[in-house]
Amino acid sequence: MAALHNHSSLRQSSHPLLFVLQKSNTRQDEPRLGRLSLLNRVPMDTPHYVAASSRGAVPHLSQDMMRENTNIRAMYTALEDFIEKASHQDQTPPIFNFPAAPHESPLRKFIALQKSALLILGPRRIPPLPCPASSTDSAISIVTSLGFGMLEYTDYVEAIQKLRPDIVLGIGDVLFGHKPGVKRIDKMGDRTLAWVKELVDGMKDEENGMPRPALFAPILPIEAERQSYYLDALQDELVDSVDGLVLYDTASIDAIPKTLWHLPRLSLGEMNSPHKLLDAIARGIDIFTIPFITETTDAGIALGFSFPATKAPDVDTPLPLGVDMWAPTHAKCLSPLRSDCLCYTCTNHHQAFIQHLLNAKEMLGWVLLQLHNHHIVDNFFAGVRQSIQNGSFEDERTSFEKTYTVELPEKTGQGPRVRGYQYKSEKSEQRKNPPAYRSLDDRKEKLVEAAVLSPSADANDFEQQGFAEKAE
Ligand SMILES: [Zn+2]
């Protein structure tokens, strides 16, 4: 790591969050190595990822499991996950009343996040669900667990002051799910600037010996000319207050002014495969949120790629990026998910057990897959960093693209139950996971019908009456 500091382009910041690049960019877009550090947190070497949480927890993982069996260095949380009761006039969301010492973050305590991990707070979940309402000049639409609502930017500032995360994301006036019209684009820069300024003003002072949270400002997913007024302000009056940048789209790298190239770049963009990650790393993104880790876990898929690829590419039969553990072929397999994997799951359990757990809809199945999938992604990023260090990233990236299939495997099995705020409902879509138990009234009718079956009725007759499922 000595080399990291020799060529450092040390950033002068009023904030204790430090981002050191191994060498300054010579081009706008090129892969880069960096280290993000903050007092009392384990430094994060970049490129790396940030674990995306749902209501303050990485899905399927308890806090002790996350601490002991993953290398998660930073966690992203969304304010919309915690303010579901704010719509009622007289109720304060519980998180704002959570007891914490003056020097502690009530949010970190509320979700029991380990001290060593960076805590990031943004307004929306990742990936965000589209909202029917549009933003206004003073608020964005959000989805809470109780339904749609509006988040006033003044309330966001107040929440940040109370919750004290390590890093806070500025609110960008960004549409999710559809493209903005011309009129809207004109407003996006102005609104975002006003909201970022409000956040800077609201966080100015050190409180109770705690420094203000570091601020990552949005770069909007529109052309640089359309947000030039905002970008000028970032370089000028806001330059001492902005500690990093948030991108919704890798292409937005083109819009980053040269004077801000040294800032860490966090992507909230749609990264649905390792290939997309490699493209974005090649263009100079440092930190990622990756929804596909939990999505593959929910689908019962064990990720199975490594960077650099360990096998020579075979164009005719590219390797899959993961294995569907629902496939019956695993039922008698006593090998780990991957023979070269050293994760908790692979060192303790075999494929047949994982498949049994999925079939039994036992939660432990998804827990073990989630541990393995995070481990695969941890190793992927470690490989990427080593490869950039060695100067072989471009060649190894080309080779990786030829070695593996483009898409993650299809989802075949049924995942764990999901709630409304976790997925987009499509018209005429069947319920995602029908409940295992029906209402008693429904069952009563079935009982009446079943009563007319003759004593000689067999299991099939009962099953047809909806009475019970026949054991195979
Ligand atoms: Zn494993």
Task: Report CA(372)–ligand 1 centroid distance (Å).
Answer: 4
Tell me how far apart the alpha carbons of residues 151 and 144 are, in angstroms, rounded to a whole number: 10
Q: 65 C-alpha to center of ligand 1: Å?
A: 14
Residue 372 assigned to a binding site:
yes
Phi-psi region of 63 (alpha: psi -120 to 50; beta: other; left: phi over 0): alpha
> Residue 375 Cα, ligand 1 centroid: separation in angstroms?
7
What pLDDT, on the 0 to 100 scale, is given for residue 73?
92
341 is in an annotated binding site: yes
Q: How far is the CA of 66 from the centre of ligand 1 (A)?
A: 14
Cα 305 to averaged position of ligand 1 atoms, centre (Å): 11
Q: Estimate to the nearest angstrom the gap between the alpha carbon of 213 and the chain centroid.
A: 20
The whole-number pLDDT of residue 23 equals 84
CA of 293 to the centre of ligand 1 (A): 13
User: What residue ranges of the chain have pLDDT lower than 50?
Assistant: 1-13, 425-429, 441-453, 462, 465-469, 471-472
The verdict on whether residue 343 carries a ligand-binding annotation is yes
Say what the pLDDT of residue 419 is. 56
Domains of the chain: 39-413 (3.20.20.105), 441-472 (no CATH)
Give the Å distance between the CA of 338 and the centre of ligand 1.
6
How many angstroms separate the CA atoms of 416 and 123, rounded?
26
* Tokens at 410, concatenated: 């299809």
- Classify residue 37 by burial, with Cβ atoms within 10 Å: 0-12, 13-18, 19+: middle
CA 368 to ligand 1 centroid distance, Å: 9
Which two tokens mark 268?
């909230």
Q: Please state, in angstroms and rounded to a whole number, the distance separating the CA atoms of residues 453 and 100.
A: 63
Q: How far is the CA of 349 from the centre of ligand 1 (A)?
A: 9
Going from the Cα of 361 to the center of ligand 1, the distance in angstroms, rounded, reads 20
Per DSSP bridges, beta strands 139-144 and 147-152 are antiparallel
Q: Which of 336, 279, 327, 337 is nearest to 299 (CA)?
A: 327
**Cα 432 to Cα 423: distance, rounded to the nearest angstrom:** 9
- Ligand 1 centroid distance, CA of 316 (Å): 27
What spacing in Å lies between the alpha carbon of 371 and ligand 1's midpoint?
Answer: 7
- Check if the beta carbon of residue 192 is closer than 8 Å to that of residue 171: yes
Q: State the burial class of residue 199 (Cβ atoms within 10 Å of its Cβ: 0-12, 13-18, 19+).
A: buried
- The answer to whether the annotation marks 333 as part of a ligand binding site is no
Taking CA atoms, 456 is separated from 290, 443, 450, 453, in Å, by 56, 22, 12, 8
Residue 422: the pLDDT is 53
What is the model's pLDDT at position 460? 58
Distance CA 292, CA 96 (A): 31
**Cα gap 202→196, rounded to integer Å:** 10
- What's the confidence (pLDDT) of residue 434? 55
pTM here is: 0.85
Report whether 451 contacts 462 (CB < 8 A). no
Q: Is 233 helix (H, G, I), strand (E, B) or coil?
A: helix
